[in-house]
Amino acid sequence: MDLIHAIILGIVEGITEFLPISSTFHLIFAAKYLGLEETEFLKAYQVVIQAGGIFAAVLLYWKDVWNDRSLIWKTAAAFIPTGIIAFALSDIIKGVFFESEVFMLAAFLAVGFIFILVEWIVKLERFSLRYTIATLTYKHALLIGALQALAVLPGVSRAGSVIVVMMLLRYQRSEAARFSFLLAIPTIMAAAAHDAFKMRETFLTSTDNLAALAVGTIVSFITAYVVMKWFILFLQKNTLIPFAIYRFVAVIIILLTLELSP
């Protein structure tokens, strides 16, 4: 991997990690478009650059957590079911679903339809989005964490899962996005630590690629920081429909331009 590839993948990770469009999905297909072979180092690289997003989330929200310590415990409560479910199913998911590009596209497309359905329900005024994370209960936190675990499936999106379930629980879109950012910190840290430990020998034998790892992480950090600030402002006045449309368009482009494995 050269530095240009590292920068491109760092940008992709930074943009997609906190938007409801699945960073895993985008990194997999971005690597295919770049013609990168799926080596152990590429897998390790995709794990390491997630640290950029973690640092960005911490930098943006440490004051919020410091001023409301209960957010720490509610975030921890939400992480517990995510961690249990993801750890229990990780080997099955990576051994089956990560190997099927058709499944990834189907999941990516299906979530787009879910976005439209949820927004349609809200538009019909079946319920109003009025809650903030200041009113988040532990019961809701556990439910959010359990459904966030669906994001271990490539194409689903961790942020998308959190935002959808919180909207159904009547939380404002921008508040749901904020909590998804906070919940990302322990979730990504745990997933990255787990994968990094399993790939520790790859890191030890890839010292020649340390520059690519550093550049990708820095680029991911800068991009994620900007995207998170923009996304909150976007959701204060907009819906998830643009992200549903993006998912449909992306699937069409991939089907027309790539040769897929079953």
pLDDT in tens, 33-44: 999 988 777 877
| Tokens 């988040």 sit on residue | 136
Do residues 135 and 70 lie in contact, with contact meaning Cβ atoms separated by under 8 Å?
A: no
With respect to residue 262, please indicate whether it lies within any of the assigned structural domains.
no
With respect to residue 31, please indicate whether it lies within any of the assigned structural domains.
yes
Residue 213 reports pLDDT greater than 90:
no
Tokens of 158: 């961790």
Q: Taking the C-alpha atoms of 129, 188, 186 and 240 in order, what is their torsion angle to the nearest 10 degrees? A: 0
With respect to residue 203, please indicate whether it lies within any of the assigned structural domains.
yes
Do residues 188 and 54 lie in contact, with contact meaning Cβ atoms separated by under 8 Å?
A: yes
**The model's pTM:** 0.91
Please report the pLDDT score of residue 233 as a whole number.
96
d(CA 17, CA 2): 22
Q: Which of 28-37, 67-76, 117-126, 192-201 has the lowest mean pLDDT?
A: 192-201
With respect to residue 174, please indicate whether it lies within any of the assigned structural domains.
yes
With respect to residue 44, please indicate whether it lies within any of the assigned structural domains.
yes
With respect to residue 30, please indicate whether it lies within any of the assigned structural domains.
yes
The residue segments making up the domain with residue 23 are 3-257
With respect to residue 24, please indicate whether it lies within any of the assigned structural domains.
yes
What's the domain count of the chain? 1
Q: Taking the C-alpha atoms of 52, 54, 57 and 59 in order, what is their torsion angle to the nearest 10 degrees? A: -70
> What's the whole-number average pLDDT of the chain?
89
The predicted-structure confidence for 184-207, as pLDDT tens digits, reads as follows: 999 888 887 877 777 767 666 666
Residue 19 reports pLDDT greater than 90:
yes
Q: Give the pLDDT band (50/70/90) at residue 180.
A: very high
CA 186 → CA 66, 78, 116, distances in Å?
A: 16, 10, 29
| Tokens 């979730």 sit on residue | 187
Please report the pLDDT score of residue 207 as a whole number.
64
CA 6 → CA 16, 45, 53, 214, distances in Å?
A: 15, 9, 15, 9
